[in-house]
């Protein structure tokens, strides 16, 4: 590897020196019949199921299950209250406010910028190329000694495409900071995950989530996969009980249902391709970008009017027309076959405003 990545020197000093909170369950986590160490209510909870005990701070059972599904050791997994928690921790651990910066490659997921702003960390933007791929020369130019993290999203939101693998590997091999690859939509993609590259690149962090293909957005469970050293940093900073008991139990149950999820993925991909073809035949649609995700980006002549027309029909899509390189674009999530049909029928009835009048 050509880079000279050194985790300790990237860590903020306050985090390096931090003595983490030690919870009751950290100090004793064996088997015992009388637990009087955590000031819990020993009488029970006012629910059918007992939630009176604090949950496992490191979610061992859930990580073991994920380990077998993802083919990566449990010690390389961090679980967060959504991917958003992992993103926020990366800023807090590695970026000094007012000194360091991160590189973002718009158009991309909005949370990286919001999290940077919350943490008072500067951003350098290097737009994707017009075919939504990485501008490697531009990124190389933007990197300096204060560049801590490069955020990549593949398949990318809102464009839907995967980034070229060789380009991502070029960055991983040459950048001395962290490379975060957000794979929220990986289950819909023809590309394979970067998780298997963790042994190759010590500066790699892969984000995934149960919010999309797994159908569990309401539970809030995000995953980060990285070297053991990086995962230790996450664990040091996270709130002690960041994944609640109900989420741990329900996620564990859900992860047994791989067959249902795989059937949904297949159906969503089929529906996506059908929807893209139908939408492309409409006169006011200029382009439907190829998608590796569960949504399509559609370029139209009048995005705002179309968006508002659909709202009137009780159909909500995402107006992305103000986003860099996405002029005229709406992002449409693939729904059930019935929902997609409702959308296509509504679009077919859309009457373009008459600009000649
Ligand atoms: C939806 C999405 C996520 C999911 O975030 P959670 O906090 O896990 O729900 C992450 N990254 C991208 C790019 C997304 O589109």
The pLDDT of residue 26: 81
Q: Specify whether 229 is located in the same domain as 289.
A: no
Residue 101 lies in a domain: yes
Alpha-carbon torsion (337, 343, 347, 350), positive or negative = positive
Kindly give, in sequence order, each residue whose CB lies less than 8 Å from that of residue 175, ignoring residues fewer than 6 positions away. Answer: 3, 5, 143, 147, 150, 203
How far from the centroid of its chain's Cα atoms is residue 159's Cα? 14
Of all residues in the chain, the percent with pLDDT exceeding 70 is: 99
The pLDDT of residue 2: 72
Q: Specify whether 245 is located in the same domain as 335.
A: no
Nearest CA to ligand 1 atom 15: 157
Q: Specify whether 143 is located in the same domain as 245.
A: yes
Residue 2 lies in a domain: no
Query: What CATH number is associated with residue 75?
Result: 3.40.640.10
Q: Specify whether 285 is located in the same domain as 145.
A: no
Q: Specify whether 156 is located in the same domain as 85.
A: yes
Tell me: pLDDT of 341 over 70: yes
Last-in-domain residue among 256, 283, 301: 256
Q: Specify whether 136 is located in the same domain as 283.
A: no
How far from the centroid of its chain's Cα atoms is residue 129's Cα? 22
Alpha-carbon torsion (115, 117, 121, 125), positive or negative = positive
CA distance 69 to 347: 40
Residue 167 lies in a domain: yes
DSSP H or E stretch at residue 303: helix 303-312
Ligand 1 atom with the smallest distance to the CA of 221 is 8
Ligand 1 atom with the smallest distance to the CA of 209 is 8
Nearest CA to ligand 1 atom 2: 184
Residue 265 lies in a domain: yes
Q: Specify whether 77 is located in the same domain as 205.
A: yes
Predicted confidence band of residue 7 (pLDDT cuts 50, 70, 90): very high
CA distance 269 to 30: 45
Last-in-domain residue among 225, 241, 256: 256
As a whole number of Å, the CA-based R_g of the chain is: 22
Secondary structure (3-state) at 288? strand
Tell me: pLDDT of 1 over 60: no
Q: Which of 248, 293, 258 is nearest to 272 (CA)?
A: 293
Tell me: pLDDT of 215 over 90: yes
Ligand 1 in reach of 222 Cβ (< 6 A): yes
Ligand 1 in reach of 109 Cβ (< 6 A): yes
CA distance 192 to 160: 15
Domain extent, residue 81, equals 7-256
Secondary structure (3-state) at 333? strand
Residue 356 lies in a domain: no
pLDDT tens digits, residue range 171-195? 999 999 999 999 999 999 999 999 9
**Is the whole model's pTM more than 0.85, yes or no?**
yes
Q: How far, in Å, from the CA of 115 to the mean position of ligand 1?
A: 13
Tell me: pLDDT of 10 over 60: yes
Residue 225 lies in a domain: yes
Kindly give, in sequence order, each residue whose CB lies less than 8 Å from that of residue 197, ignoring residues fewer than 6 positions away. Answer: 169, 172, 204
Q: How far, in Å, from the CA of 215 to the mean position of ligand 1?
A: 12
State mean pLDDT over 136-140: 98
Tell me: pLDDT of 101 over 90: yes
DSSP H or E stretch at residue 74: none
CA distances from 42 to 50, 56, 246 (A): 10, 17, 18
Nearest CA to ligand 1 atom 10: 184
Ligand 1 in reach of 83 Cβ (< 6 A): yes
Last-in-domain residue among 229, 256, 283: 256
Q: Specify whether 233 is located in the same domain as 271.
A: no
Q: Specify whether 310 is located in the same domain as 172.
A: no
Tell me: pLDDT of 318 over 90: yes
Predicted confidence band of residue 27 (pLDDT cuts 50, 70, 90): confident
Q: Specify whether 21 is located in the same domain as 132.
A: yes
Q: Specify whether 275 is located in the same domain as 336.
A: yes
The pLDDT of residue 357: 64
Tell me: pLDDT of 41 over 80: yes
- The two structure tokens encoding residue 334: 């693939």
State mean pLDDT over 237-259: 97
The pLDDT of residue 71: 97
Q: How far, in Å, from the CA of 211 to the mean position of ligand 1?
A: 7
DSSP notation for 9-55: HHS-HHHHH------HHHH--S--S---SS---TT--SSSS---SPP
Query: What CATH number is associated with residue 334?
Result: 3.90.1150.10
Ligand 1 in reach of 191 Cβ (< 6 A): no
- What is the overall mean pLDDT for the chain? 96
How many domains does one find in the chain? 2
């Amino acid at each position: 590897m050509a880079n000279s990545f050194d985790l300790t020197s990237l860590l903020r000093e306050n985090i390096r020196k931090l003595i983490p909170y030690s919870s009751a369950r950290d100090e004793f986590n064996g088997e015992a019949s009388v637990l009087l160490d955590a000031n819990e209510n020993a009488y029970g909870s006012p629910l059918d199921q007992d939630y009176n005990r604090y949950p496992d701070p490191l979610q061992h059972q859930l990580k073991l299950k994920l380990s077998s599904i993802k083919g990566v050791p449990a010690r390389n997994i961090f679980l967060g209250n959504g991917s958003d928690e992992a993103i926020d921790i990366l800023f807090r651990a590695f970026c000094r406010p007012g000194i360091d910066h991160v590189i973002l490659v718009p158009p991309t997921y909005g949370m990286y910028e919001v999290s940077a702003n919350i943490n008072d960390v500067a951003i350098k933007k290097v737009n994707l190329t017009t075919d939504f791929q990485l501008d490697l020369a531009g990124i190389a130019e933007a990197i300096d000694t204060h560049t801590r993290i490069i955020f990549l999203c593949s398949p990318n939101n809102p464009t839907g495409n995967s980034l070229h693998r060789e380009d991502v590997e070029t960055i991983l091999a040459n950048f001395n900071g962290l490379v975060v690859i957000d794979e929220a939509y990986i289950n819909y993609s023809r590309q394979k995950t970067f998780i298997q590259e963790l042994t190759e690149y010590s500066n790699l962090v892969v984000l995934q989530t149960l919010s999309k293909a797994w159908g569990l957005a309401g539970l809030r469970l995000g995953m980060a996969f990285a070297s053991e050293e990086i995962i230790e940093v996450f664990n040091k900073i996270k709130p002690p009980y960041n994944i609640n008991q109900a989420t741990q139990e329900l996620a564990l149950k859900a992860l047994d249902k791989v067959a249902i999820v795989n059937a949904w993925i297949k159906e969503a991909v089929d529906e996506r391709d059908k929807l893209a073809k139908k939408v492309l035949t409409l006169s006011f649609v200029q382009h439907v970008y190829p998608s590796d995700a569960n949504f399509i980006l559609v370029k139209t002549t009048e995005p705002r009017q179309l968006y508002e027309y659909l709202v009137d029909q009780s159909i909500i899509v995402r107006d992305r027309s103000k986003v860099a390189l996405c002029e005229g674009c709406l992002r449409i999530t693939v729904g059930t076959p019935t929902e997609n049909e409702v959308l296509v029928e509504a679009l077919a009835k859309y009457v373009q405003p008459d600009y000649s009048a």
